Amino acid sequence: MSVDNTNQEVNEELEMQAKQIAGLLDAHANRLSMRTLKQLENGRARAIKAHGQQLTDTSVNADGTLSRMTSWVGHHRLAATGLVLATLVSSFVVLKSLNNNDSSDAFLLSAELPPEAFVDKGFEPSLNVPDSHLQQKT
Amino acid sequence: MASSQELSDFLRDVERRAFKQTVYAVRDEHVALDIVQDAMLKLAEKYADKPAAEYPMLFQRILQNTMKDFWRRQKVRNLWTTLLSSFGAGQDGEEDHDPLDTIDVEDESSNPAVQLERSQTMKIIEKALEKLPARQREAFILRYWEDMDVAETAEMMGCSQGSVKTHCSRALHTMAALLEKQGLGSKVIATLVIES
């Protein structure tokens, strides 16, 4: 118990010392050479200019949506690539299903029954008969 | 979204500290300046839409990542430098000295003896900080200098809170031992804090 207390006291003392050192470092950080300060100021000026540019770009659009989208793409390149791939895959699937529609049109036109028969509920029982049953009948 | 004025105020507030922290990590003032300027630009360009309240964490993260990028590049460069060192011998120490580099500003103490003593003490503290392993130094700076709590430091360093506590504890013990060896015990440091 007393060992734990001693350790805690030592740690608290060390933490206090660390904060004092941080204070000294902070005070020392304010004493930089003129050249360094000038260069930091230049860097800050460039950053603020870039920031202003970003704000102007956003306000060019009516609601800023396009700019935000461009910025989003810039930040999330992997996600943007994924989105493009997903779009490609989904468009491929849609195209494929359109092709299937073409083949169903061909089936309707080549069937012995008139196309209206496929929407007439009276024909449903005969249309739902599996192929194997039809083959057996023939 | 933060205004340009808010960004300017924030950068003015952190730039000196960020510069010194980077110097302790990379041990080269020119490189440190490049890193800090790069971090400022990245913050302005990539996070213009973020509120000013998020800037401290974002900036620290950008700064740490820019330092890591530098070390990665440095590793590759060192490999080439080692290979080609025989061609570039005799180039060291030929840089022109600029008096502007040594003129300090905002040193309110006019007594040269006090200035000298303070400067020597700070050199000892800075050397001790530089001697710490990179992760311990990072934890020490974020936790005590940037005044982040354990959870924030852990998030910034990408490790668990337990690891942060371990890094901090080791850093504190090493720093205390190094400073004690140089005659800078806790009492001396406390006196310096009062004087400054």
| 3-state SS string for chain A | CHHHHHHHHHHHHHHHHHHHHHHHHHHHHCCCEHHHHHHHHHHHHHHHHHHHHHHHHHHHCCCCHHHHHHHHHHHCHHHHHHHHHHHHHHHHHHHHHHHHHHHHHHHHHHCCCCHHHHCCHHHHHHHCCCHHHHHHHC
Mean pLDDT, chain B, whole residue set: 82
Residue B189: band (very low, low, confident or very high) from pLDDT cuts 50, 70, 90: low
> For chain A, what are the domain ranges?
77-138
Confidence at residue A38, expressed as pLDDT on a 0 to 100 scale: 92
Q: How far is CA B21 from the centre of its chain?
A: 1
ipTM attached to this prediction = 0.73
Are A35 and B37 in contact (CB < 8 Å)?
Answer: no
Interval B97-125: pLDDT, tens:
555 554 455 455 556 776 777 778 888 88
In whole angstroms, give the CA distance from residue B24 to residue A34. Answer: 19
Are A33 and B176 in contact (CB < 8 Å)?
Answer: no
Please report, in angstroms and rounded to a whole number, the separation of the first and last CA atoms in chain B.
38
Establish if B194 touches chain A: CB-CB under 8 angstroms. no
Structure token pair of residue A89: 């895959």
Are B19 and A32 in contact (CB < 8 Å)?
Answer: yes
- pTM for the whole structure: 0.63
**Facing B16 at nearest CB: one of A13, A22, A40:** A40
Residues of chain A that touch chain B, judged by Cβ-Cβ distance less than 8 Å: 11, 13-37, 39-40, 42-44, 46-48, 50-52, 54-55, 58, 68, 71, 74-75
The helix/strand/coil state of B104 is strand
Per the DSSP assignment, residues forming a β-bridge with B104 are A33
**Facing A24 at nearest CB: one of B19, B125, B172:** B125
List Cα–Cα distances, B78 to A40, B33, B65, B83, in angstroms. 27, 20, 20, 8
Interval B67-88: pLDDT, tens:
988 888 888 887 777 777 655 5
Q: Which of B78, B168, B7, B98 is nearest to A22 (CA)?
A: B168
Mean pLDDT, chain A, whole residue set: 76
Are B196 and A75 in contact (CB < 8 Å)?
Answer: no
Please report, in angstroms and rounded to a whole number, the separation of the first and last CA atoms in chain A.
97
Q: Is the pLDDT of residue A78 over 70?
A: yes
Are B37 and A36 in contact (CB < 8 Å)?
Answer: no
In whole angstroms, give the CA distance from residue A94 to residue A39. Answer: 57
Name the range with the highest mean pLDDT among A58-62, B89-93, B98-102, B184-188. B184-188
Are B36 and A17 in contact (CB < 8 Å)?
Answer: no
Q: Is the pLDDT of residue B94 over 50?
A: no
Establish if B15 touches chain A: CB-CB under 8 angstroms. yes
Under 8 Å between Cβ of B184 and B121: yes
Q: Pick the more confident residue, A61 or B59.
A: B59
Give the residue carrying structure tokens 């504890």.
B169
What domains, with CATH codes, occur in chain B? 4-79 (no CATH), 111-195 (1.10.10.10)
The helix/strand/coil state of B42 is helix
- What's the burial of A54, exposed, middle or buried (CB within 10 Å: 0-12/13-18/19+)? buried
In whole angstroms, give the CA distance from residue A42 to residue A47. Answer: 9
Per the DSSP assignment, residues forming a β-bridge with A33 are B104
Structure token pair of residue B35: 């890193």
CA atoms within 13 A on the CB side of A130: 3
